[in-house]
Amino acid sequence: MSLISISSEAELLNSFRPHDRKTVYVPRGWQFPISQNYYLAWVEPYGVRTFLAFKEPQWKHLVGVSFRRDQQGSSVSAPGMCDWCHAHGTSDQIGLLTTRVSSNRRVGVNLCLDLSCIDKMADAAKQMGMDLDRMAAVHRQRMAHFCQAALGFRFS
C-alpha cells in the first residue's frame, strides 16, 4: 500500500502550481499531518472544483492539480467511463474535468467527478480477486502521465 503523508497545509498548497493555489479550497477542520492511502482528492462545497494531491514513490514532492468541472449543458444522463480507473457511470458521476495550462488554454480528461476512483477500484479488486495495490499503481501512472503530457510537469 502506498501511503502519502502531508505534514502541513502549506505543503499541500505548495504542491499546486502557483496560478492554481488561489483556487484551492482546504476544508475547514482538516488536521495536519494527513496520511492517506494512494492519493488525496476532495471537492469544494459548491461542486465546481475538484482537487487532487498525489505522489509516486520515487518522487521527492507531492503534486497537486486543481480541476474545474465542465458543465455538460444537458439534462440527459449519458453513460461514461473514467479514463483513469475505467469505472463506468452516468454523466452525474463521470464527466469532463479541466485544468488550466496557461492563461488561454485548458486541457481536460473524463474522470470520476469526485475522483473517488480508489473506492471503485477497491470494490472491483474485491469482486474480481485482484490486487488493489497493483491497480492503484497503474492508476497513479495514468495520473502522472496526464500531468506530464498535458501539463508539462517534470518529476525528479
- Lowest mean per-residue pLDDT among 28-37, 70-79, 97-106, 110-119: 70-79
Query: What number of other Cβ atoms are within 10 A of residue 7's Cβ?
Result: 12
Q: What are the angstrom distances between the C-alpha of 120 and each of 1, 5, 72, 113?
A: 16, 22, 23, 13
Say if residues 99 and 107 touch (Cβ distance below 8 Å).
yes
Q: Which residues are 67's β-sheet partners?
A: 50
DSSP bridge pairs for 69: 97
User: Is this model's pTM higher than 0.85 or not?
Assistant: yes
Q: How far is CA 73 from the centre of its chain?
A: 23
Residue pLDDT, tens place only, 86-105: 999 998 999 999 999 988 99
Q: What is the pLDDT of residue 87?
A: 95
Res 156 pLDDT > 80: no
Joined together, the cell numbers standing for residue 66 give 486543481
* Residue listed under C-alpha cell 505522489: 55
Q: What is the distance in angstroms between the CA of the first residue and the CA of the last residue of the chain?
A: 21
